[in-house]
Structure 1
């Protein structure tokens, strides 16, 4: 029968606050003795500051209700779960019930099992848990404490991963899948720890920092969970055992939770150090959000009760890991990103907005560069001068491990740079109009940083060609102004990035004193895709906020495609790209032309369409659309302008044509010749691997971002 809810204890809240204040006083006096008054005052301010704004995503908190049977997620019979969620409990059955309701309300995609280990509860736990369908409920013979209960639960687990979860937590939707995804997205991860939140939405812990004396700090405590400092994946010293995951085999190899810390406290920190000693990383995952009602089960006063073991066990931990602790920072002020990343190469990238790699080649190049920097061990920050949080695109950078900023946490780009630029070794400013405005500021506030101007392409060359094609004298004068701006920015920077040898040769004439490096488009070689006989049609990919793409598709759709359609009456032309203009959309009235706009997943068009076209009549730089197709084994027909700077040869790895008649002939000929198509597809894949892959760019990235220690 359902149990009758107990009458509320009216003195519970006053008793909690009395114990909490007593604990604060005790910790404050201890901090004064060990850290001095300045650091203690700074830490006290953390506790006294006003609450931050609520999280962007509202918290899920189940409503209290009398017990009634329900079901928790459980792997299908005969199927090994991917994760075993181990929940140790000792009384507080209402908290356990809320935790299980949260798991039931938002089941993870990963197959899992939920194991509740009852460590001798005397309340209604034993009456309620057997009635929760799908739950593996285990009663221990006698109370042994948190560590014993966790290790016991681990011994019962069948999953590939062990996930330890306190019973006073409310896991938020998607928490487990995000936690498990950390292992695949960041190879070498041995432990993934969750973002812990207070029930009011404030941050409780964004991974932990351990100091040289063995003391620890919950990073981000009482701050906003959305603060960019705490919203990206990063290595951390440890994470609270309230919500963490690691491979079951690694848990066994590390010896489980060490019983020298029994009954509790510092066992999670010790396990994190053991995981690192075995050659693995401990990573904080902000997308795995878990509400933790800290103090529900153990209180907060370190001077009494089980919490007192926290003080004793710090000494035990410090003695065991004395050698490893020598590399940890000294205790002092509240840690920030400057302390956390002090031993890494620190790179800041500034652009107008965050990259959208599915929308344009410049974004894909930038995103892959950020990946390479992270893989190389650098700490990377990204400042979009527009300061907009761009949803999934911003989250993608944070999941990559990039410290990504946005309003309201950055008031303006200039203000943020004045406060933060000094902590970076290399600062990249993208696009000439940003470089012109920001490089003088950076030279002042980051005098020791290497300042890099990333051109994306030489804008003045592209503008000049477009003006010449249109016969527009005013546009020619504007191109000259752009040239002056770009060359002035190069003179202010320590180093300029261009995307092709042709652009480097142009600058040897126009700006001979500028140090230039070529960092071209960056692509992963996807592979050959579908074979010739399974492919059909033509495709163009390119955003229509870029004038050369608008001109190219209008020229192809009006002048070239009708000639192709006469000879290949069933062929279709797929026009893909964000922001199509009215003229571009009107091309859909021509038989065979389909204007798709933005397509989030390009793979079907890369892997199943027979030929890509790049009919650009003006532009500059290297054309990502050509690289993208070749990286998927898709042959390309292009103009001379489109293949500039790409190490391509007509008739071998590309077909080149510049008039409507020749372009149509090249498409029709390649479309029907299987042998030629296969040879060109293979040659294109080889071209991308040799010139435009991440591996091909590795030496340049090393020179630009990692070699040297000062400006220049």
Structure 2
């Protein structure tokens, strides 16, 4: 048992990137986690080996210490020893791979948490599945079987891959893994045998939706938004350009689609065509502002994992959405979808036109979004549950780890392998 202490909890968050909440939902989720820790009065240090991006959050203004660290450097050892954190959060499993063994070596009593954002091996398996389907030119726009893969088929695609084996090993090595998707939790427990005790459902967390957003008559155009560095977003833009948007324009000749995204590459700007109503708008300074002006949000995602920040933003702004089963996966629970969900270019286009023109359906979807946010995504509920889970684990950490023999075994071998490698490098340097 950990003795009670009057000092604040010291938390170290090691980021894969410096958070840019206006550029990606993953960074937005990290900032929500940070806020839940700040609400407890915890002392937070954010460290990352990445370069700072153009839209980096101002962490210092929140009272968070910032530290640049290096990969494969013993300087991290000195840093983490001096900090002596009580809790360490790894942002994405690759960060756990790089720094987890060093944390284990110097701070073995620190609670280790992995922020997954999404199950990357699932996303990559679905991407490969899509590529395989598109090898048949007859399935260029319609991909039967894309959206209805059972867990058993997903497991067979994932289990033999290097990415899945690395990712699942990292999940085992941590004391707690934060999952935004309860569907992914089910996949992990039922197919990969991961203990439920290692998982915690923590989706995107939001305050109450803005009720006084523009009404149906005051909105115009379709909107698509998402970081272009995220492969599912880029694929969705291409699918809209090549297959979906031409079908919409046939029925709505004056319609416009505004495509927003951070880090817009030249290949995206090359798709801009005002005559076709296809406008590539680059980065949105205020994503909620542009979302609130649109009548319908389009998110035709053909692969991906986790839950989708753009669809949460649409609900916040009272903007109905049209997406795919993968886009809506794990987001609605038993509640109605705030828009329409379809699985082919023709059906998505028809749904988009219908939602754009049918005010009664539009209003119904708008209210469904508000209800869904209240039921599944309230910040105060999830923040409270997360802190309670962390505190409970800190009080029972030795027994919790004892029950996770696989994780202990993996940590042992990870530590030994890095130790042997360090000894080999040292011996090689002496010999030369």
Give TM class, smaller chain: 0.7 to 0.9
Question: Equivalent residue for 1:574?
Answer: 258
Q: 2:320 aligns with which of 635, 639, 663?
A: 635
Q: 1:676 to 1:472 in 2, by over 3 A?
A: closer
Distance of aligned partners of 1:477 and 1:489 in 2 relative to their CA distance in 1, 3 Å threshold:
closer
Distance in 2 of aligned mates of 1:464 and 1:411:
28
Query: Which 5+ residue runs of structure 1 have no aligned equivalent?
Result: 1-340
> CA separation of 1:399/1:541 partners in 2, compared to 1, >3 Å: closer, same or farther?
same
- Name the structure with the higher strand share: 1
| Contact kept? 2:226, 2:260, Cα under 8 Å | yes
Counterpart of 2:207 (choices 524, 529, 546) is: 524
What is residue 557 of structure 1 aligned with on the other side?
Answer: 241
Which position in structure 2 is the counterpart of 1:301? none
1:510 aligns with 2:170: no
Q: Equivalent residues in 2 for 1:352-371 (5 A)?
A: 352-371=16-35
Is 1:426 paired with 2:111?
A: no
Whose RCO is larger (CA < 8 A, sep 6+)? 2
Does residue 416 (structure 1) correspond to residue 90 (structure 2)? The answer is no
Compared CA separation, residues 586 and 555, structure 1 to 2 (3 A)? same
- What whole-Å deviation, never above 9, does each CA across 1:378-423 have from its counterpart, x for those lacking one? 111111122x4557625x111122112237xx89875234433552
Does structure 1 conserve the Cα–Cα contact (< 8 Å) formed by 2:356 and 2:362?
yes
Report if aligned partners of 1:361, 1:624 keep a CA contact under 8 Å in 2.
yes
Counterparts of 2:120 and 2:112, CA distance in 1: 20
The equivalent of 1:616 in structure 2 is 301
CA distance in 2, matches of 1:676, 1:472: 34
Residues 523, 651 of structure 1: alpha-carbon distance in 2 compared, 3 angstrom cutoff: closer
Q: Secondary structure at the match of 1:393?
A: coil
Aligned partner of 1:692 in structure 2 is 377
SS at match of 1:404: strand
Post-superposition shift, 1:504? Answer: 0.6
2:110 pairs with 1:449: yes
Count of residues in Structure 1 that have an aligned counterpart in Structure 2 = 366
Match of 2:63 in 1: 401
**Superposition TM-score, scaled by structure 1 size:** 0.49
Specify the SS of the correspondent of 1:359.
coil
Contact map agreement 1:648 1:654 (CA 8 A) in 2 = no
**Distance in 2 (alpha carbons) for counterparts of 1:608 and 1:702:** 36
| Residues 98-148 of structure 1: CA deviation (Å, up to 9, x unaligned) | xxxxxxxxxxxxxxxxxxxxxxxxxxxxxxxxxxxxxxxxxxxxxxxxxxx
1:680 paired residue number: 365
Inter-CA distance 588–350: structure 2 relative to 1 (3 Å threshold):
same
1:664 aligns with 2:349: yes
| Cα distance, 1:477 vs structure 2 | 8.3
Q: Which has the higher helix share?
A: 2
Displacement of 1:462 in angstroms is: 0.4
* Aligned residues: CA RMSD: 2.5
Displacement after TM superposition at 1:603 (Å): 2.8
Cα distance in 2 for residues equivalent to 1:627 and 1:665: 23
Q: d(CA) in 2 for partners of 1:631 and 1:479? A: 39
Contact 2:260–2:284 under 8 Å retained in 1? yes
Question: CA separation in 2, counterparts of 1:601 and 1:392?
Answer: 12
Please, which of 153, 176, 179 is the counterpart of residue 495 of structure 1? 176
In structure 2, the partner of 1:247 is none
Mapping 1:119-518, distance limit 5 Å: 343-386=7-50, 388-390=51-53, 393-394=56-57, 396-406=58-68, 415-421=75-81, 423-471=84-132, 480-508=161-189, 509-513=191-195, 515-518=198-201
